[in-house]
Amino acid sequence: MSGILVPIVIFCAILLAIPMTGADYHLRRIVRFQRRRLSEDGETSPLPLAGLTGNRKKLQVPLSEIRDLVISLQLGTSMESTLTGALDKAAEQFADRGVLGERLRRHVDARLSISPESVIEGLIEDLDCPQLVEVLERIRMASEGGLSYNRVLSVSVASIEEDMRGEIEQAIQRAPTRLTLPMVAGVFFPAIVLGLLPLMINAVSQMQ
């Protein structure tokens, strides 16, 4: 009986230790890597299917980068530059800004000759950002209603910054809930280990 108890106790201790050490994160990464490898080998093909159905997954960019882009357009139009010129200049400024800079440059090269609104439409198609939709709506309102681009872009900057503050407040509100489990585990895991230690010592002593 004691020979069976020791492996069981050790196994339970390992299960309890995995979340505490962060090993579960690495295990999840290994599983995701294997899934991607199988997909590339042709055993599963979610990406081609998504392309055929038109449900292309949109890219994520930090909201702060969207705000910086709108600020750049606002500053460009405030200096009596056209929105077309402001977008072209922004594409140069954001060349090294990762996904946003790469997509902006691509759409400026391909669509700016059509209209500045078409460039924003391209970004909306690529990026998961509802705020860009609002920016486009305000730009169209300015174009149709005779308002200045600088004014509507200023409103967009204020709106995006308000959304950013809302995200920060939500993150602060969620923090206690996320910290509860690690705190509980940090308190009870040592107690469980200390409680099992005498049993393990007793089982080992009986085996000798």
Write out pLDDT tens, residues 65-84.
999 999 999 999 988 779 99
- Under 8 Å between Cβ of 147 and 54: no
Per-residue pLDDT at 29 exceeds 80: no
Query: What is the predicted pLDDT for the residue at 47?
Result: 39
Tokens of 24: 């579960």
CA distance 78 to 110: 25
The Cβ of residue 129 has, within 10 Å, a number of other Cβ atoms equal to 21
Segment 100-105 mean pLDDT: 95
Higher pLDDT, 70 or 55: 70
Per-residue pLDDT at 150 exceeds 70: yes
C-alpha distances (whole Å) from 88 to each of 14, 55, 92, 150 are 57, 29, 7, 16
- Over the chain, what is the mean pLDDT? 76
Quick check: pTM over 0.85?
no
DSSP state of 97: S
Query: What is the predicted pLDDT for the residue at 3?
Result: 47
Query: What is the predicted pLDDT for the residue at 115?
Result: 94
